[in-house]
């Protein structure tokens, strides 16, 4: 797990910020109580860096003290994952890749199916 975190940290810090402020997907609506979708606007460079910082703290914490480890882990890694996906799309757009629309579709599916706050 520590190697994975170090790799995520390196990817984020070396990759730079996604400059595109454009919305890629239609906003996901909550499907009811206890379902809190993460808005696309939350997948930013700054939020990804903060998620990495918090994940590193969580790794160094005793799991006996981290009673909500699973939800914290999910919430932090989904921010990192979403940012990297959005960054990939921006890079594809920059080179006018024919794959851009396919990865936009994948990103929108990610928002709908995986990008939610766990509690």
Nearest to 108 by CA among 46, 45, 40: 40
Q: Please tell me the total count of domains within the chain.
A: 1
Query: What CA–CA distance (Å, rounded) separates 15 from 107?
Result: 18
Does residue 14 surpass a pLDDT of 50?
A: no
Name the 3-class secondary structure at 36.
strand
Q: How many CA atoms lie within 13 A of 87 on its CB side?
A: 19
Domain that holds residue 54: 2-117
Asked whether residue 98 carries a pLDDT value surpassing 70, the answer given is yes
pLDDT at 5 > cutoff 70: no
pLDDT digits over 23-81, tens only? Answer: 899 999 887 777 799 999 999 999 999 999 999 988 887 666 656 777 778 889 999 99
| Rounded Cα–Cα distance for residues 40 and 38 (Å) | 6
pTM of the model: 0.78
Cα-flanking dihedrals φ and ψ of residue 39, to 5°?
-65, 145
- Sort 33 into a burial class: Cβ within 10 Å, 0-12 / 13-18 / 19+: exposed
**Model confidence band, residue 103 (pLDDT cutoffs 50, 70, 90):** very high
Q: Are 94 and 16 in contact (CB under 8 A)?
A: no
């Amino acid at each position: 797990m520590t190697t994975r975190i170090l790799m995520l940290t390196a990817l984020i810090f070396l990759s730079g910020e996604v400059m595109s402020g454009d919305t890629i997907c239609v906003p996901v609506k909550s499907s009811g109580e206890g379902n809190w979708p993460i808005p696309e606007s939350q997948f930013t460079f700054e939020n990804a860096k903060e998620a990495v910082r918090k994940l590193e703290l969580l790794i160094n914490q005793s799991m006996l003290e981290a009673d909500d480890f699973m939800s914290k882990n999910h919430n932090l890694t989904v921010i990192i994952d979403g940012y990297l996906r959005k960054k990939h799309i921006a890079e594809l757009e920059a080179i006018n890749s024919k794959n851009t629309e396919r990865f936009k579709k994948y990103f929108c599916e990610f928002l709908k199916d995986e990008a939610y706050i766990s509690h």
